[in-house]
Amino acid sequence: MPKLSDKLAFFTDSVIRRMTRIANLHGAVNLSQGFPDFDPPEALKEALATVAAGSIHQYAVTWGAPNFREALARKQTRFMGFEIDPETQVAVTCGSTEAMIATMLTICNPGDKVIVFSPFYENYTADTILSGALPIYVHLNPPHYNFDIQELEAAFQQHPKALILCNPSNPSGKVYTLAELEIIAGFAQKYDVFVITDEVYEHIVFEPNKHHYIASLPGMFERTISCSSLSKTYSITGWRLGYAIAPATIIDGIRKVHDFLTVGAAAPLQEAAVTALNFGDGYYTDLQQSYRDKRDFFLNGLDQLGLKYTAPQGAYYVMVDISEFGASNDVDFCEWMASEVGVAAVPGSSFFRDEVHHLVRFHFAKNKETLAQALKALANLRSMANDKVWNTKD
Ligand SMILES: Cc1ncc(COP(=O)(O)O)c(C=O)c1O
């Protein structure tokens, strides 16, 4: 048999999706993979039913159905604060996941370097490997996940092609301040580097924190590829609708790559999603409030259990410190917690470049009843963990 690609040796299957399988196996409350256990807005489900009964069932234009692009450009122009041309500056993709890999394949040659903040969303490792790029990691230091300016500049001095910016950030919940974005933008311009954003949580930010789009900063639109999706904003992670917004010459390249990766995002779903893209401001304020309630409810529960965590500023994850339990292997800890305690989380080590084994990530995009059930199970965590004899090499 011929050998498979060498690339496969450099990444494993998704730890996050593996934790979901383990949660299902043990019937644990699944706070690992970040997707809601509640339905999208009723109006969106109704729009889908209407579209399903109609006749939009064949390929859409490969880079996005015109009415979807128009609605998207209108909505993003409103939030990003600059005019976006749906004809030339938008590529519609199968989720932000595809937008990012298509972007990486468009801008990177094998051997190009790309700056990645650590901890990072696990897709970025696969994205760099698949596009032949080499990551330069810059630390976001827990518990506050700040970066060191000298370390960042040293990374820029290594002639990277691009920097990946996940804002609001998974897993840390960090929302970059305007001042931090200005520092990154300053280096990107000084060292002539692209910025690729992943802004799928753009509408899930907890006051007083505020989401700023780096593409909106002076001189940045030209060098920024803003990737995002409808997955989190409208609770439709299964619809696989995402996009990249960038200057026409870059979008031209992304459209070419995208055409051969997937041809296009599902036509009926694009059609139905126009309804969501036309929602008024009230939808977004209600979304923020509903996630704020979930966040406060879950963090309050963690407080009552005496667990230590970093309060997220945005997105719907919280990193919890498990040092007190004495397990030196967070993967074993998470597997044990799913099977014995009944709650699944993601081992923090899967997000860090360095050996970090004292954190686990929970997500709270769940109904209050589900969160309450998880907290009830977690009430036994300390006593069960203290009774457990952890393998010394764990
Ligand atoms: C930071 C981040 N980017 C991208 C995704 C996936 O987005 P999409 O469903 O648009 O592919 C996720 C999903 O958890 C995420 O957390």
The atom of ligand 1 lying closest to the CA of 315 is 16
pLDDT at 246 over 50: yes
Residues of the chain with pLDDT > 90: what percent?
Answer: 90
Instruction: Give the start-to-end residue ranges of the domains of the chain.
Output: 6-40+282-386, 58-279
User: Counting every residue, how long is the chain?
Assistant: 394
User: Are the C-beta atoms of 104 and 128 separated by less than 8 Å?
Assistant: yes
Summary mean pLDDT of the chain: 95
**Mean pLDDT, rounded, for 256-270:** 97
The atom of ligand 1 lying closest to the CA of 16 is 14
**Mean pLDDT, rounded, for 268-274:** 98
Alpha carbon nearest to ligand 1 atom 1, residue: 170
Find the 244 Cα to ligand 1 centroid distance in Å: 13
The secondary structure of residue 211, as a DSSP letter, is -
Find the 390 Cα to ligand 1 centroid distance in Å: 33
Pairing of strands 317-321, 343-344: unpaired
Characterize 235-269 residue by residue with b for buried, 16 or more Cβ atoms within 10 angstroms of its Cβ, and e for exposed: bbbebbbbbbbbbeebbebbbbbbeeebebbbbbb
pLDDT at position 394 is 46
Q: Report, at the CATH architecture level, how domain 58-279 is classified.
A: 3-Layer(aba) Sandwich (3.40)
pLDDT tens per residue, range 112-149: 999 999 999 989 989 999 999 999 999 999 899 999 99
| Same CATH fold assignment for domains 6-40+282-386 and 58-279 | no
Find the 97 Cα to ligand 1 centroid distance in Å: 6
Find the 35 Cα to ligand 1 centroid distance in Å: 9
Q: CA torsion angle for 56, 65, 268, 97 (degrees, to 10)?
A: 150
Q: Report, at the CATH architecture level, how domain 6-40+282-386 is classified.
A: Alpha-Beta Complex (3.90)
Residues of the chain with pLDDT > 70: what percent?
Answer: 99
CA gap 372, 36 in Å, rounded: 15
347 preceded by cis ω (within 30°)? no
